[in-house]
Amino acid sequence: MKRIYLLSFALGTLLFFGSPLYAFNFQYYDFGSDPFTADNNTSPICYPHGIGYQPSPGDNPQWEGGEKFDYEGLFAQVDMNYINVAVTSSFGDIAHSTGWNQDYAAGDLFFSFQGDDRLFAVDITDATLWEVDTWLGITDRPGTYYDYPDIRNQIGPWAIETGTNLGEVDMLLSFWDDLEPNPIWNNERDTYLREFRIPVSALEITPYYGQTISFHNTLECGNDMIEMGTTVVPEPATLLLLGGGLLGLGGFSRFRKKRK
């Protein structure tokens, strides 16, 4: 059974250095020193409230949202054995709305491969990997965007409903108090990072190299979502091994011909 790590730092822990660089150490893959992406504090959805386009909703004193319900980074890197994904957000397992007196759960991590009609997801409650048959969209609850069909349809999957359990993945949750350098609501700066290490062997993707993988994550209320894609390319070491193997086969073939 793969280990599921949970790191929880005390609220007083301060890792913000007043610089864009945080000397951040990713556990499963080294994505660099900044857990935030260039799309920090933005969303691909045009919401009916707030500023109305790219920046996430809630940047308006009359609407609760913003940093409380914000995705701030998504990183992905693949190799021969694992798909490594890290998602940065300003909420933990839930995001609480004081205005609506509601708790909205963080969504599962969905991903798919170009040219393959299967949809996969990692259940963030127990770190299980699924081939998804059906999924749940944002819920019909107070404070969600369920009543806005355009937004509801654009957001798509929030949580796994049914599917085939493919086993467990490595998952790590880390928390930092006061790390966010650019809070957009009420000066809140809390930052959470979820890392996933997904075994390629469990997915039965052939061919694997050359595939484009698309990732998707959203909140139950649909207040923000984050998406990105990456292409599987051979690592330099893999190319060297492949090239060396082909050269070896060629030399062996010529050797056999000479012996004949």
Per-residue burial over 186-224, b if 16 or more Cβ lie within 10 Å, else e, is eeebbbbbbbbbbbeeebebeebeebebebbbbbbbbbb
Contact 181, 190 (CB under 8 A): no
Any domain includes 221: yes
How many whole angstroms separate alpha carbon 148 and alpha carbon 152?
A: 6
User: What tens digit of pLDDT does each residue of 78-132 get?
Assistant: 888 999 999 999 999 999 888 889 999 999 999 999 888 999 999 999 999 999 9
* Portion of the chain with pLDDT greater than 70, in percent: 74
Count of alpha carbons within 13 angstroms of residue 92, beta-carbon side: 11
Of 160, 174, 201, 180, give the one whose Cα is nearest residue 67. 180
Any domain includes 45: yes
| Banded pLDDT at 170 (limits 50, 70, 90) | very high
Contact 158, 218 (CB under 8 A): yes
If one compares 236 and 213, the residue with the highest pLDDT of the two is: 213
User: What tens digit of pLDDT does each residue of 214-260 get?
Assistant: 999 999 999 888 999 988 886 554 444 444 444 444 544 444 445 44
Q: What is the pTM of this model?
A: 0.81
Helices and strands counted in the chain (H then E): 2, 13
pLDDT for position 24: 80
Any domain includes 53: yes
Contact 176, 194 (CB under 8 A): no
Per-residue burial over 56-78, b if 16 or more Cβ lie within 10 Å, else e, is bbbbeeeebbbbbbbbbbbbbbb
Any domain includes 128: yes
Any domain includes 254: no
Total domains, the chain? 1
Per-residue burial over 15-45, b if 16 or more Cβ lie within 10 Å, else e, is eeeeeeebebebebbebeebbbbebbbbbeb
Any domain includes 18: yes
pLDDT over threshold 80, residue 149 = yes
Any domain includes 72: yes
Give all strands (DSSP E) within 106-252, no chain letters: 109-113, 119-123, 128-136, 159-168, 170-176, 191-199, 212-218, 225-231
Any domain includes 259: no
Question: Average pLDDT, stretch 122-144?
Answer: 96
Contact 109, 83 (CB under 8 A): no
Question: Average pLDDT, stretch 171-183?
Answer: 89
Instruction: Name residue, tokens 């940047």.
Output: 59
Enclosing domain of residue 205: 5-235
**If DSSP codes are grouped into helix, strand and coil, which group holds residue 11?**
coil
